[in-house]
Every structure is written in structure tokens, then in C-alpha cells.
């Protein structure tokens, strides 16, 4: 009897080790700190910022074709007679009218700048949503682990009680082994849950571009916003959703591209000028000559026929504009569907969370009473085990409902372009 009792104590110590390790203090990480790190370090945001900067740099009059081109050319020639000539030339070429294509090009560049800004905003919003979803997933897992610790504590008490009763000859060895088996199963569930938590933390660390193996404790709790209104979300999503705005900008870009191509049908006026300085020296003499010439002029060109290419390009540009308008309508319908789906999910799980909270209170009270009855020998280990299962099931249902309600809430706010 003494040898078996000592084995039980060692067994419990070994199985309790993961719980003791998990209870060590970890550095806290709040949601705001996680978001701040993500906004500063996330690779997708950094790339989107670079793209936005490029689109901003491209908005220049020169890139639109409004400014002149000025070139300096110089040549030096030596003849076998050792005569030398040098020519220097400064030339300017300036298109002053191209059927207003340059103005359409400039407006198109400004729209592309807006597109870069909106892409950056969309990337920021999506990254924040991803951070929040993973963060609250970690919070949920921490809550589940806390519940498993409570169950492990009860299972450990069952093993102690069964061992004492076995030593006292009041129960069979089978009852003790059953208690040990249940404790072992609870420990395995706990270990699996801690492994899932570790993977989720790695995922968040990757999004935040921090040390992958950094451990932390998610210090915030899940609080579901109860004030979301469907009509308000619907209106804001159709007016402020980044994808809807981007599709509208695409229409503007296509419209200015069409204007730019249409401008090629009209006359083109170019101003040209150049100043040439020529110098020649003669070998064996002190004679040299130097002359300067300044020329200027204007060129008018009118496209008469180029294989119907302009007409083809205009037709295609109009089709592109029509396609952009169709994609905009398609995106609006897609956003409407996403709002309806996410809001339905939000309502269902928000109500479920309230319902499951009441169920958990009942399960917790029943577990407490059952433990007292078990100590008094009023219920069997099997009955206590059923109560334990009911408690962990109620806990998991509440955690899942709350988490899903929060995910749906985040999705709704992401659709409006305002996650936080």
C-alpha cells in the first residue's frame, strides 16, 4: 500500500509539471501595444508605404509631359592633319499642345496617387484586423487553459481522494485507476491546448515582425461591442470601405486614360530651339575660328492615318472604363453581402454569448456542489466526471461564442474602413 501511494504522489508531480511551468509569469502584451508594433514593423505595411511613396513621387508635371526637354550635346573631332573641331549644342524640345492629353495624364497620376494612399489605408486596416483576430484567439486559448487548470485541479483532488479510499479499503483499485486515467486525459488536453497557444503566439509574432519565439501574456480581455447597428454599418461600408473607394478610383483612372488617348487625335504643337557653338583650330598656325548659331521654330503635326490604331485604342479604353464601372457595381454588391453575412453572425454569437454565460454560471455552481457531494461520498466518480465534462463544455461554448462575436464585430468594422 505504501509503495503504491508514493507512486501516486510522484505521478501527480510529473503530470503537474506542465501546469507549473505555464503558470510562470510572462511579459504582458496589450492589444494597443500589439497594434502599435504591427503598424511600425509589419512587412505588408512597409511595402504599401513604399508603393504609396512611389505613386506620390510620380505626380509631377514632367511625368505628365508638360515640361520641355533640354539636352546638351558636345563632340570633338581630330583629323590626321592634326586639325581639331569642337561642336557644343544645347537643344530644347517642348510640346505645348497635344490635344489636352498631358492634362489628362496629370489627373490620372493624381488618381493613382490616391489609389496608393487608399491601398496603404486598406493594408493598415487589414493588418490591424489580422492582429486583433489572432490576439483575441490567444486570449480565448488562455481562457480555455485556465478552465483546464481548474479541471486538472479537480481531477487531482479525485486522484487523492480515490487513493485515500483505496488505502482505506473503501474502493477498488479500478476506481483509482479510473481517476488516474481521467487525470491523464485532462493533462493531455491541457498540453494540446498549450501547444495550440504557442503556435498562435508564433503567428502573432510573425505579423508583428518581432522575435518569432517571444513569449508573452495577452493581457486584454474580449469585450464585444454591443452597439453596432446594421443600417449604420451598411451606409458606412458603401461609402468608406477601401475596396469600394479603390474601385471608384479605378473608374477615374480609366476615364482619364480614355481622355489621354482621345487627345492623340488632335494636332500637336512643339516648340524647338537650339544653340550651337562650333570651334576649329589648325595645326601649326595660330589661326582658329569660332562661330555660334541659334535656331528656333515651331512644329505642327496632325495625325491623318496610322492604321486605325488610335480608333482601336479609344474603343478599348472605353471598354476598360465600362469594365471599371461594372467592377465598382460588383464590389458594392459584394460589400452588401459581406455586411449582411457578418452582421447576422455578429447577432447570433452575441446572443449566444449571453446565453452561454448563464449556462456557465449554472455549470460552475453544479460543479462546486458536486465536489462537495463527492467528498461526502454522495455521488460516484463517474457522476462527478460527467459534471466536469459539462463544465468544460459550457466554458468552451462561451469562449467560442464570445470569440466569434468579436471576430464578426471586427469584420463589420473592417468593412467600414474603421477597425479601431
Q: What is the mean pLDDT of residues 172-201?
A: 89
Q: What is the pLDDT, as a whole number, of residue 317? A: 95
CA distance 329 to 319: 15
Q: What is the pLDDT of residues 84-97, one digit of tens each?
A: 677 888 889 998 98
**3-class SS of residue 262:** helix
> Does any domain span residue 285?
no
Give the model confidence (pLDDT) of 86-125 as tens digits. 788 888 999 898 889 999 999 999 999 999 999 999 999 9
The pLDDT-based confidence of 82 (bands split at 50, 70, 90) is low
Q: Report, as an integer, the average pLDDT of 206-212.
A: 94
Vertex 73 angle, CA 69 and 76, to 5° = 180
DSSP symbols for 361-404: HHHHHHHHHHHHHHHTT-S-HHHHHHHHHHHHHHHHHHHHHHHH
Q: Is residue 390 part of a domain?
A: yes
Residue 4's pLDDT is: 42
The pLDDT value recorded for residue 331 is 96
Q: Where are the beta strands (DSSP E) in 239-304?
A: 268-281, 288-301
Across 360-382, average pLDDT: 88
What are the two backbone dihedrals, phi and then psi, of residue 152, each rounded to the nearest 5 degrees? -60, -40
Beta bridge partners of 272: 93, 297
What pLDDT does 332 receive? 96
CATH code for the domain in which residue 187 is found: 1.20.1600.10
Asked if residue 333 is part of any domain, the answer here is yes
- The pLDDT value recorded for residue 8 is 42
- Identify the band that residue 74 occupies on the pLDDT scale cut at 50, 70 and 90: confident
Cα–Cα nearest to 387, from 155, 144, 66: 155
pTM of the predicted model as reported, rounded to 2 decimal places: 0.84
Please give the mean pLDDT across all residues of the chain.
87
Residue 263 has pLDDT above 50, yes or no: yes
Number of H-type helices and E-type strands within the chain: 9, 6
Task: Give the range of the structural domain holding residue 143, as residue numbers without chain letter.
Answer: 2-66+99-269+308-415
Residue 94 lies in a domain: no
The pLDDT, as a whole number, for residue 281 is: 66
Please count the structural domains in the chain.
1
2-22 and 173-208 are packed helices; what angle lies between their axes, rounded to 10 degrees?
A: 20
Cα 47 from Cα 124, distance rounded (Å): 11
Helix (H) / strand (E) element for 287: namely: none
Q: Residue 321 domain-assigned?
A: yes
The answer to the question of residue 244 being in a domain is yes
Are the C-beta atoms of residues 94 and 49 closer than 8 Å to each other? no
Looking at residue 179, its pLDDT comes to 85
* Range from 220-224, 332-336, 366-370 that averages highest in pLDDT: 332-336
Amino acid at each position: 500500500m505504501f509503495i503504491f501511494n508514493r507512486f501516486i504522489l510522484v505521478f501527480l508531480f510529473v503530470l503537474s509539471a506542465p501546469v507549473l511551468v505555464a503558470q510562470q509569469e510572462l511579459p504582458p502584451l496589450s492589444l494597443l501595444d500589439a497594434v502599435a508594433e504591427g503598424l511600425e514593423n509589419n512587412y505588408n505595411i512597409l511595402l504599401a508605404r513604399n508603393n504609396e511613396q512611389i505613386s506620390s513621387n510620380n505626380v509631377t508635371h514632367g511625368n505628365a509631359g508638360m515640361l520641355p526637354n533640354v539636352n546638351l550635346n558636345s563632340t570633338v573631332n581630330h583629323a590626321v592633319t592634326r586639325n581639331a573641331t569642337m561642336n557644343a549644342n544645347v537643344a530644347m524640345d517642348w510640346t505645348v499642345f497635344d490635344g489636352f492629353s498631358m492634362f489628362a495624364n496629370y489627373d490620372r497620376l493624381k488618381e493613382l496617387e490616391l489609389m496608393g494612399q487608399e491601398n496603404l489605408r486598406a493594408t493598415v486596416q487589414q493588418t490591424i484586423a489580422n492582429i486583433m483576430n489572432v490576439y483575441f484567439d490567444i486570449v480565448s486559448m488562455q481562457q480555455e487553459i485556465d478552465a483546464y487548470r481548474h479541471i486538472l485541479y479537480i481531477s487531482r483532488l479525485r486522484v487523492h481522494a480515490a487513493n485515500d479510499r483505496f488505502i482505506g479499503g473503501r474502493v477498488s483499485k479500478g476506481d483509482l485507476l479510473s481517476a488516474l486515467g481521467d487525470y491523464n486525459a485532462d493533462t493531455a488536453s491541457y498540453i494540446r491546448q498549450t501547444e495550440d497557444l504557442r503556435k498562435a503566439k508564433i503567428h502573432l509574432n510573425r505579423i508583428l515582425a518581432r522575435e518569432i519565439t517571444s513569449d508573452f501574456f495577452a493581457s486584454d480581455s474580449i469585450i464585444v461591442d454591443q452597439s453596432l447597428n446594421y443600417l449604420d454599418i451598411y451606409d458606412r461600408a458603401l461609402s468608406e470601405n477601401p475596396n469600394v473607394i479603390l474601385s471608384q478610383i479605378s473608374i477615374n483612372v480609366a476615364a482619364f486614360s480614355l481622355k489621354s488617348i482621345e487627345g492623340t487625335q488632335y494636332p500637336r504643337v512643339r516648340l524647338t530651339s537650339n544653340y550651337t557653338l562650333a570651334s576649329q583650330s589648325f595645326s601649326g598656325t595660330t589661326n582658329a575660328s569660332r562661330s555660334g548659331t541659334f535656331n528656333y521654330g515651331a512644329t505642327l503635326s496632325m495625325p491623318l492615318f496610322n492604321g486605325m490604331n488610335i480608333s482601336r485604342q479609344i474603343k478599348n479604353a472605353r471598354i476598360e472604363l465600362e469594365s471599371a464601372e461594372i467592377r465598382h457595381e460588383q464590389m458594392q454588391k459584394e460589400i452588401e453581402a459581406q455586411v449582411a453575412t457578418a452582421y447576422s453572425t455578429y447577432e447570433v454569437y452575441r446572443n449566444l454569448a449571453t446565453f452561454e454565460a448563464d449556462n456557465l454560471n449554472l455549470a460552475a455552481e453544479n460543479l462546486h456542489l458536486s465536489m462537495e457531494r463527492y467528498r461526502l461520498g454522495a455521488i460516484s466518480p463517474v457522476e462527478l466526471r460527467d459534471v466536469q465534462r459539462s463544465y468544460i463544455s459550457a466554458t468552451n461554448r462561451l469562449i467560442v461564442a464570445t470569440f466569434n462575436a468579436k471576430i464578426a464585430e471586427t469584420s463589420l468594422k473592417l468593412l467600414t474602413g474603421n477597425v479601431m
